[in-house]
Homo-oligomer: A and B are copies of this chain.
């Protein structure tokens, strides 16, 4: 039986694994890949690769540590998690690891668990979206606001968060075109909030039907219920539908909020002793790499304290 299982290898999972290894825990990190959403970077024409966040370098360092220690991680899909009497069992399939055949289903057991499975961006599922992803089209504007100064940005979203992101982008971008879905949840004053900003154009009652471009995405095609079409050209495009927290595996085991995010306290403990959570799967929010690194570190130290006082 391991000391600790960590599900997910984005910034939170990688930081958790690195701290747990530093604490000499017998840790097993289980993920479909290493790096999580940090692998999904968006490029824009005429920007330099070095204009990225410094926190990426830290993620890289943690990732290298974990990658090198092949005994401490398994590339696999998690199928189910069960917990009973101070033990967590994780069924995995399709994986490769130090034990077991590739593709076989097997169970890993540990004395505690950190869930760092993140939140998955929700696509619009329209033509051009997959093709242009990473090429001036992405799922979160917030990490790129510093390189969008003076540019024209198109956002589509369905929550107050996108309204807030548009308001923030308006500080730097030349112009923000914001398409909001009717079915979304906004504050009552969202129209007034946006009307204050003369470089934000709000569009409602339309849908994106297609993304178009050349090497990079260059335009979003919008249609209204009557079928009339509008083409919005921009330098950057972001599809910001509410992301889906990947909490289904543990939703029977720990408390989640109405949006499905795992409820944690200030030390990343869930409502179940021995089960911790960190990063975008939790109700902390914010979706920032540096924050996810801190949260993952805290989860590992909380797990360490839990183990130290139960041996």
Contact = CB atoms under 8 A, between A and B. Distances in A.
Interface stretch (A116-124, A236-244, A263-271): A263-271
Contact of A266 (B164, B282, B290, B301): B282
A301 B282 contact: no
Interface residues of A, number: 38
Contacts of A283: 266
Interface stretch (A36-44, A53-61, A247-255): A53-61
A150 to B, nearest CB: 15
Contacts of A15: 290
A24 B268 CA distance: 30
Contact of A288 (B54, B301, B308): B301
Nearest to A62: B54
B290 A297 contact: yes
A282 B61 CA distance: 28
A187 interface: yes
Interface string A125-167: 0000000000000000000011000000000000000001001
Interface in A165-188: 167-168, 171, 187
Contacts of A22: 145-146
Nearest to A288: B297
A164 B171 CA distance: 48
Interface string A208-232: 0000000000000000000000000
A131 to B, nearest CB: 31
28 contacts: A15-B290, A22-B145, A22-B146, A23-B168, A24-B168, A24-B171, A54-B58, A55-B58, A58-B58, A58-B290, A164-B305, A167-B308, A187-B309, A265-B266, A266-B268, A286-B297, A286-B298, A286-B301, A288-B297, A290-B293, A290-B294, A291-B294, A291-B298, A291-B301, A293-B293, A294-B295, A294-B297, A294-B298
